[in-house]
Amino acid sequence: MKHKYEEVEEKIIDWAVKGKYKPHEKIPTESELMEMFSVSRHTIRKAIGDLVAMQYVYRIQGSGIYISDWTENREYLKNTKNVAVLTTHISNYIFPDIIKGMEDTLYSESYSLLLSSTNNNVMFENSNLKNLLAHKIDGLILEPTKSAYQSPNIGYLNNIISKNIPVVTLNASYPEINTPSLKVDDFKGGKLATNHLISLGHRKLMGIFKVDDSQGINRMNGFISECQENNIPPSPGQILTYLSEEISSSLPEKIEYALKSEKKA
């Protein structure tokens, strides 16, 4: 069964091959393509990113997406530089703003962005890294997947690094590879958030942490440390942990149970 982005790619290639859109003619916008194919923005960006790498389309910052002169493989397209961005998520939390910042910076320097996400699933990370190895990329911005665990995909990353392709990790890092990493001090963040509640006079605190990412582990440790420093060590029932796949399933039940237990105490 084909992925939605593959169906979008095939349709746009068909437009180019059959001449529905001529070389250097603008195609529908991302929003129009989303409505046309009834898919998410992530799906459209994945498809367009692949088509840029395959030299069927190109982007002009602030203008739109255009069919390339793909039959002649123009020098313009030969010189296109592609930076791959592989995050755990795209459409929620802080990711839209982060990705927009990447897009603005890359496009201003005539780089194309190849955007993918793993949904914090190591198998999706595996397939995305395989796909990137099959494309021409000039750099990789990677948010590690389930960074609290040892990654089974380090071999693919080492393969990318061995090709002298720069890799930068975001929000977390893999200790098995030596690459620059941009991340915040999550331990300190956990302490600061906890200290704020304590400064307001609260003594019975609950912490909820995602523990398959190193960020969540570090925040939890910061929470525990600050509680201990203020002589209010949390009981086991005051620390709730969950995995990425539990956020909309068992986590709400855990929170509801903990709150009911607290009322009975």
Domain residues of the chain, as ranges? 4-182, 186-264
- Dump pLDDT digits (tens) for 64-118: 999 987 666 444 445 568 899 999 988 776 778 888 888 889 888 888 888 888 9
Q: What is the pLDDT of residue 141?
A: 96
pTM for this structure?
Answer: 0.69
75 exposure class (CB count in 10 Å sphere: 0-12, 13-18, 19+): exposed
Q: What is the pLDDT of residue 79?
A: 59
| Position 123 pLDDT exceeds 50 | yes
- Which of 142, 118, 146 is closest to 212 using CA atoms? 146
Q: How far apart are CA 5 and CA 50, in angstroms?
A: 9
Q: How far apart are CA 167 and CA 4, in angstroms?
A: 28
Q: What is the pLDDT of residue 71?
A: 66
pLDDT-wise least confident of 62-76, 87-101, 138-152, 178-192: 62-76
- Which of 48, 92, 87 is closest to 168 using CA atoms? 87
Q: What is the pLDDT of residue 264?
A: 64
Q: How far apart are CA 29 and CA 62, in angstroms?
A: 11
Q: What is the pLDDT of residue 1?
A: 60
Q: What is the pLDDT of residue 153?
A: 93
- Dump pLDDT digits (tens) for 191-235: 999 999 999 999 999 999 999 999 999 999 999 999 999 999 888
Mean pLDDT, rounded, for 237-252: 88
- Dump pLDDT digits (tens) for 13-49: 889 878 899 989 999 999 999 999 999 999 999 999 8
Q: What is the pLDDT of residue 74?
A: 44
Q: How far apart are CA 131 and CA 82, in angstroms?
A: 14
186-264 and 4-182 share a CATH fold: yes
| Position 134 pLDDT exceeds 80 | no
CB 67 within 8 A of CB 25: yes
CATH class of 186-264: alpha beta
| Position 154 pLDDT exceeds 70 | yes
Tell me the β-bridge partners of 57. 67
Third-level CATH fold of 4-182: Rossmann fold (3.40.50)
